Amino acid sequence: MADNYRIAVLIGSLRKDSFNRKLAHALFKMAPAEFSFQECALGDIPLYNQDLDGNMPEPVKRLKGEISNAQGVLFVTPEYNRSVPGVLKNAIDSASRPYGQSAFAGKAAGVIGISVGALGTSMAQQHLRNTLAYLDMPTLGQPEAFVQAREGLFAPDGGIGIEDTKKFLQGWMKTYCDWVRKHAKQ
């Protein structure tokens, strides 16, 4: 087993003050020391076009490299119109092509998200899980985490400020890290 685990993080929101970005950064603080996280830039990924499969644009090459060099991928997604945001789907489509050269195959996946709605990002996560199954990513099934953005959720230091939510997310992160250890390729 590797002593260090690199996790590529795909956040499905481009908004500067995104709840999902804040959640991702709070989760990073909960991980064991041997885990490092690289937030992958998605805003510069051009719309996927199969005509470019033979000569991928530089931002796509960068994204594929970041994913390929990681032992796991953490997807932190908002929910737009009961599904994943277009920027996240586009990044997935781009990094999984050309056919047979997916950067995602075999990478241990974690799926989580936050929304102001009571159901969190449950529908987006379900749609994302369908895609990840096709991409041959062993995806953590339980516990599911549909986080609702509420007053006081984020502490001033960027951590989680609601104790029961913090405890739940610490458990989720521990389970995800164990999942990565189990599936990491040597």
What is the value of pTM for the model shown?
0.95
Contact of 135 with 97, CB cutoff 8 Å: no
Strand order in the sheet with 108-115: 35-39, 5-11, 72-76, 108-115, 146-148
Bond before 156 cis per omega within 30 degrees: no
Count Cα neighbours of 97 within 13 Å in the Cβ-side half-sphere.
18
Q: Per-residue pLDDT for 106 more than 60?
A: yes
Q: Per-residue pLDDT for 27 more than 60?
A: yes
Q: What is the pLDDT of residues 130-142, one digit of tens each?
A: 999 999 999 999 9
Q: What is the mean pLDDT of residues 46-62?
A: 96
